[in-house]
Structure 1
Amino acid sequence: MSSSTIYIPVLSPPTPAASPGPDTDGFPAIPVALPHNPALRQQYLASLLHSLTPGELLFVSTTIAPLLKRDFIADLPTELALMVLACIDEPRTLARASRVSRRWKAMVADESVWRGLCIHIGFGSRLRPRPRDPDDEPLEEMEQFAPYLMDPAQQWLAAKRRRPKPSDPPPPTFSYYQHFKQSYRTMMNWRTGGTLLRAHRMNPTPPPPNAQQALNSIDVITSVALDADWVVVGLANSKIHVFSSRTGVLARTLVGHDAGVWGVCLVARGGSWVGDRTEPVGGEGIPAMWRTPLGLDLPAGEKTTPLPFPGKRSSPCSASDGWGQPNALVVSGGCDKVLRVWDVRSGYPIHVLSGHTSTIRCLRMLHNRPLAVTGSRDSTLRVWDVQRGRMVRVMAGHSGSVRCLDVCGNRAVSGSYDATCRVWDVDTGECMHVLRGHFHQIYSVAFDGVRIASGGLDTTVRVWDALTGQCLALLQGHTALVCQLQLSPSLPTTPHPAPILVTGGSDGRVITSSGPLPDLATQARILSLLAADTRWWRSMVVLCVFF
């Protein structure tokens, strides 16, 4: 019996229905024939827009606006994009452009853009020719010797010159962007920089009734001294104004000089005596009402603070620390040849000191000691005890008018029209050094106890060693009289402490020099002060330089 297979037909399961697709009735599509007919496309879109509500039109507008924007800087070739950016002459516009995208930032950072901007604003292109290597052969000069054979010695010398030299570190790459950044920051600091501490509005002065009074009322400022409490202003009309530093109110007008005031110094109240008191604190003959303001009735004490070396340098603001007196004092001198000591609180003169035979041209006070040093057109310097009201000594040696002086500790440095500087010991009157090197009159000196800077009519600045009198550096850069100098101590945060010298000239330039001596001459750097118009700056005279 044979087996047989029986096949039973089975129906396949039904195919599931397809998922419903998106309802296209709500999205009217452009007919197929329209893509090939621009006119019909525009007609269709116009009819579609007319059927939209205001809200839908706003949605379409905000959607289309980004689609119409085009990054032309990214689409243009690099050369054309740089030419477009080079046409921008506003630094702020370039700064904003660098924040658009990474592509724009890379294009704005190109050196050619900032080089053109440096030239446009006047910061200089800083294109420097390659320094000539001393081992380079002067080919043009050697062409005439080409037909001649070299002897063995010359061949050996030529081969030695061609030997490779030890690899020197490559010079730092110059960046026009960094140069522009520093120059622009300096320019803006000079225009709008600094912090306004206080602003005071003064009442207008009524005009004088006649010409003679108008001539006598000329209030040309000749000298200024200030500290945290007072601002003292010396005027060419023989008056001295004392203002409050906190309120700006005119507190006192010191009247007593018979001619213009050329120098004022402010002595702060309080403090302590520094140095040895070689003489008793007497002051016979001084009225009792002035003994307390001068500190004459203070206990003398046997112990005093020793005078440090090199001592405390004078303040550029013509202010000095007191020796313990309760009131602030003003010391002034001018064309009437006398030195006057004033009590700021009362406004009365305490001492009138005579001795000079010509105009007192410069004046300095020592810190924490009642000693004033004056320089006069009679070619002498004099040391005064402003506490007891007497002249201590005369320091003679100059053959011309003493135009400027500076003090540090018990040392004084004077500059004269005889083209020399002299270093003096204030306590003994000894001339320690005579500094010769200038060719014309000296108008400014600065002294920090270690080094001396001097400038004058020969347009140069010389830096001297205060201990040896040796000239350490000769700085050039001014084209006219160097009328102001300031020496600043090095910043403690700098990795290589070095002094900073700032010079101001009648050519309108302010030049800073820094660096370890004696390499100061190679570190001179002219600040970019010729801001908008160099002709305007050159017409200005730098009258004061303060730190």
Structure 2
Amino acid sequence: MDHAQPTPQATLYMPIIPPPTPAPSPPIPQSYGFGPDPTLASHLSAFKSLSYAARRQHLQALIQECTPSELLFLSTTITPLLKRDFLRALPPEVSLYILSFIDDPRTLARAALVSRYWHELVNDEYLWKHMCRLHGFSRDAEAVEAYRREHLRQEALAQDNLLSLPSVPSGEACLSPVLLPRDYRPRPPSLEFPYRKYFIHEYIRTSNWLNKGKLLRIHRAQLYPPPPEPTMPGELGPNEPPIPPNPAIPTSVAIDSQWVVVGLANSRIHIFSARTGVLSRTLIGHEAGVWAVALISEGGDPVGLPPSTAPPEGDPLVATPSQDASLPPTLRAAVGLDKPGSPVRMRMRKPSFPDPFADGRRKPERPGVGKPSYPGGSSDGWGQPNALVVSGGCDKELRIWDVKSGYCIYVLRGHTSTVRCLKVLHGRPIAVSGSRDRTVRVWDVQRGRLLRVLQGHTQSVRSLDVCGNRIVSGSYDCTCRIWDVDTGACLHVLRGHFHQIYTVAFDGVRVASGGLDTTVRVWDASTGACLALLQGHTALVCQLQLTRTMLATGGSDGRVITFSLKDNAFNVIQRLAAHDSSVSGLQLDERFLVTSGNDGRVRLYEFEFDGRGGGGGSGGEAQCRFVRDMCEASESVWKVAYTRETCAILCKKGGKMVVEIYSFKP
């Protein structure tokens, strides 16, 4: 029986019947208003022919006749039509001019969140430059210069990090996500000043000053250490009492952006970090109390020394030969003898920035007078890689220390009595010291030698100040003297006080001096003439500071008086009953005044600024208002010193020497 072969199965396609087409939509009735309606057209033509007042009455009548659902329909229809970005509709110059009337930076920051276009407008540097002037941040030339250098340093470091990426040999896989072309050239640092970033930085820093800031560290030490045990044979006689050690009383302080240096009466020098408040090291070497310290910041721009001013070896004015030949390589590098500086620092000095606020800042009265000394006791370096400390005291010696290692680099001898005051010139390795031996001596701290002996005073030299290549010394012989540091010549002798002079201040144009006769005298530095006799204190004038437009004085009567220097009027701006006892510290800048007293208080005052180039007081003078006490009350405050971002307070609490370090850095 034959079996039939199976036939291959064919693919069957089933037809898909499409769904039925829906019925057409009915026509929209003309009563909805979407089609031509002759009644609506006549109403519109009649509405257009009405006057402005009649149209408003007509609309008001229609709204009153609408139901809630119709009113909701009107609201959702009208609201999008009313939304309009008026700043986008205007030219950018006009929009920026409108935004420049905003004086609150927080309002300006909130405006940047409206839209992307507003964000671009608010980030324009013109607005923040205007805001800097409005809030007075353009007045402090030192703050602007410091931020400009920091901006340049960050860009230089970014270039270094980019160039330090490991190179990839040809034919190998690259493990780094960044590839530099062969013809890559590092871009030069941007010369545009970042006004917005600078304003944010200064605004936060000022707010920190007003709101207390951050207490980094509190250091406590025994003020009167226990006397030595009289058990060592041969040291003391049978009936001789033990000699008590000197107390740890702070006698001097110097501060910059990195370090806080404190000299003590027990011959020690403490160095604290200004960034963390940690006690970094203690310098031991003086055999008696330290009465003066000066801090030389690392880096800096060197100021050229004319060849004729450097005395040759064998000059009779040179008391000691150079000591640099015996230095080890590490200390030679610390003072800048062998190593000029890192590549980043060298690049920082090459570009020449224009002053970003030059058109709005008052120019100095006499150009070329030099840079005044910092009230915090520090000075700019001459390009050396390490920070240095210069100290002097009762052992008649000056010592040069390397802050990084803590080693003593030089011991400078020559004074025959206590070194009472000390200053270092900006950008030059020259220190000036005044002593109870009635002399002022000029030292080369880079090579460790005495340059000159300035003689003329007949009693102890109590205070010094420097500016450029000029020195001003105040003495117990009731006179001040102005010296040329390069030649050693006495340019002027300032006579007028009838009692001992305790403090002097010098800005290159004027000299201010105060002393035991309770008066302050202001002198012309170029002619030596007395410009003004200022009275108001009833006791010793022990604190002075000169600024561009103001003279501040502090006395043992607890008063702080500010005088105006505009047009040489020397009018009293303000009399402050700052303390109940003697003013032990006084420092001010363009915005703040800080005072300390033996009553145990440290007080902060703020100068009111109206944003139009003058102060908030009458006549455009800068009046200051009390803000707050900067620390808890103590038994006594010996010293206070601050920079823009750090403040050091040296006081006595509970019978101990206390060092409090505050930070106001954003």
Same fold (TM over 0.5): yes
> Which residue number in structure 1 is paired with residue 264 of structure 2?
235
Deviations along 1:105-143, one digit per CA (max 9) or x if unpaired, are xxxxxxxxxxxxxxxxxxxxxxxxxxxxxxxxxxxxxxx
Which runs of structure 2 are paired with 1:137-286 in the superposition (5 Å)?
194=210, 196-202=212-218, 204-205=220-221, 210-212=226-228, 215-216=244-245, 218-276=247-305, 278=307, 283-286=324-327
The separation in 2 between residues aligned to 1:344 and 1:259, in whole angstroms, is: 20
1:361 aligns with 2:426: no
State whether residues 448 and 487 of structure 1, in contact with CA within 8 Å, keep that contact through their aligned partners in structure 2.
yes
1:334 corresponding residue in structure 2: 393
Contact 1:441–1:457 (Cα < 8 Å) also in 2: yes
**Shift in alpha-carbon separation, 1:247–1:209, aligned structure 2, 3 A:** closer
1:299 to 1:397, Cα distance in 2 relative to 1, 3 A: same
Match of 2:187 in 1: none
Question: Does structure 2 retain, via aligned residues, the 8 Å contact 1:275–1:304?
Answer: no
- Quick one: distance in 2 between partners of 1:368 and 1:511? 32
Q: Give the secondary structure class of the aligned counterpart of 1:393.
A: strand
TM-score normalised over the length of structure 2: 0.48
Secondary structure in structure 2 of the residue aligned to 1:291:
helix
Residues 1:417 and 2:476 are matched in the alignment: yes
Distance 1:354 1:482 in 2: 32
Matched-pair contact (CA < 8 Å) for 2:340–2:383: no
Alpha-carbon shift at residue 545 of structure 1 (Å): 1.2
Structure 2 unaligned runs (5+)?
A: 1-207, 230-242, 313-321, 352-366, 589-666
Aligned residues: 335
Which residue type is aligned with residue 326 of structure 2? Answer: G
Counterpart of 1:474 (choices 527, 533, 540) is: 533
Task: Give the superposition deviation at 1:345.
Answer: 0.6
Partner of 2:566: 516
For residues 385 and 472 of structure 1, the distance between their equivalents in structure 2, rounded to whole angstroms, comes to: 34
CA contact (8 A) 1:273 1:304 kept: no
Q: Which residue of 2 aligns with 1:295?
A: 336
Deviation at 1:290, TM superposition (A): 1.1
Counterpart residue identity of residue 465, structure 2: D
| 2:551 paired residue among 490, 498, 501 | 501
Shift of 1:463: 0.3
Hey, what does 1:438 align to over in structure 2? 497
Partner of 1:462: 521
Unpaired stretches in structure 1, ≥5 consecutive residues: 1-191, 490-498, 531-536
Displacement of 1:215 in angstroms is 4.3
- Measured in 2, the distance between the counterparts of 1:331 and 1:208 equals 26
SS in 2 for 1:324: coil
The aligned residue for residue 313 of structure 1 is 372
Aligned CA distance change for structure 1 residues 450 and 328 (closer, same or farther; 3 Å): same
**1:204–1:400 CA distance, 2 compared to 1 (3 A):** closer
Identify if the C-alpha distance between structure 1 residues 352 and 194 changes in structure 2 by more than 3 Å, giving closer, same or farther.
Answer: farther
| 2:573 pairs with 1:525 | yes
CA distance 1:206–1:442, shift in 2 (3 Å): closer
Change (3 A) 1:204 1:515: closer
Deviation at 1:519, TM superposition (A): 1.7
Residue-by-residue CA offset, 1:454-503 (whole Å, 9 max, x unaligned): 000000000000000000001000000001100011xxxxxxxxx20000
* d(CA) in 2 for partners of 1:222, 1:415: 19
1:376-387 to 2 correspondences below 5 Å: 376-387=435-446
Instruction: Go from structure 1 to structure 2 and tell me whether the alpha carbon gap of 1:262 and 1:194 turns closer, same or farther (over 3 Å shift).
Output: farther
User: Are the aligned partners of 2:443 and 2:452 in contact in 1 as well (CA < 8 Å)?
Assistant: yes
Judging changes above 3 Å, is the alpha-carbon distance between structure 1 residues 467 and 209 closer, same or farther for their aligned structure 2 residues? closer
Q: Name the CA shift for 1:351/1:282 in 2 (closer, same or farther; >3 Å).
A: closer
Offset, 1:504: 0.6
State whether structure 2 residue 544 is matched by structure 1 residue 485: yes
Letter in 2 for 1:500: M
- Matched residue, 1:323: 382
CA contact (8 A) 1:276 1:304 kept: no
Give yes or no for contact 1:416–1:441 (8 Å, CA) kept in 2. Answer: yes
User: Could you give the per-residue CA deviations for residues 244-286 of structure 1, whole angstroms, max 9, x where no partner exists?
Assistant: 0111100010011111111101100011211225259994333
Is the contact made by 2:475 and 2:500 (CA closer than 8 Å) also made in structure 1?
A: yes
**Alignment partners' CA distance in 2, 1:325 and 1:344:** 12
Give the aligned residue type for 1:199: L
Deviation at 1:309, TM superposition (A): 1.9
Report the Cα distance in structure 2 between the residues aligned to 1:207 and 1:468, rounded to whole angstroms.
47
1:46-195 alignment, distance < 5 Å? 194=210
Tell me whether 1:388 sits opposite 2:447 in the alignment: yes
| Contact 2:222–2:248 (CA under 8 A) maintained in structure 1 | no
Q: Aligned partners of 2:222 and 2:520: how far apart in 1? A: 44
Aligned partners of 1:274 and 1:304 also within 8 Å: no
Q: Secondary structure at the match of 1:290?
A: helix
Letter in 2 for 1:269: E
Superposed CA offset, 1:20-77 (max 9, x none): xxxxxxxxxxxxxxxxxxxxxxxxxxxxxxxxxxxxxxxxxxxxxxxxxxxxxxxxxx
Cα separation, 2, equivalents of 1:327 and 1:452: 32
Aligned equivalents of 1:487 and 1:245: distance in 2? 25
Mapped contact 1:286–1:388 kept (Cα < 8 A): no
TM-score, with normalisation over the residues of structure 1?
0.58
Q: Which has the higher contact order (CA 8 A, sep 6+)?
A: 2
Amino acid in structure 1 at the alignment position of 2:575: L
> Aligned pair in 2 of structure 1 residues 426, 304: CA closer, same or farther (>3 Å)?
farther
Structure 1 residue 355 displacement after superposition: 0.3
Query: In the aligned structure 2, how far is the partner of 1:442 from the partner of 1:309?
Result: 28
Coordinate RMSD, CA, aligned: 2.7
Q: Deviations over 1:443-463 (max 9, x none)?
A: 000000000000000000000
C-alpha separation in 1, matches of 2:385 and 2:554? 37
**Greater alpha carbon shift after TM alignment, 256-265 vs 282-291:** 282-291
**Are the counterparts in 2 of residues 242 and 251 from structure 1 also a CA contact under 8 Å?**
yes
How far off is 1:206 after superposition? 6.8
Relative to structure 1, is the Cα distance of residues 416 and 472 closer, same or farther in structure 2, using a 3 angstrom cutoff?
same
Where does structure 1 differ by over 4 angstroms across 4 or more consecutive aligned residues? 192-195, 203-209, 212-215, 279-282
Question: Which is greater in Rg?
Answer: 1
Cα 1:219–1:206 change in 2 (3 A) is: closer
Aligned residue number for residue 584 of structure 2: 543
**Following TM superposition, by how much is the alpha carbon of 1:203 offset from its aligned partner in structure 2, in angstroms?**
5.4
Identity of aligned residues (%): 61
Contact residue 376 and residue 402 of structure 1 kept, 8 A: yes
**How much does 1:289 deviate?**
2.5
CA distance in 2, matches of 1:204, 1:254: 17
Paired AA for residue 224 in structure 1:
V
Q: Are the counterparts in 2 of residues 472 and 517 from structure 1 also a CA contact under 8 Å?
A: no
* 1:197 CA drift (Å): 4.1
**In structure 1, distance between residues paired with 2:222 and 2:513:** 42
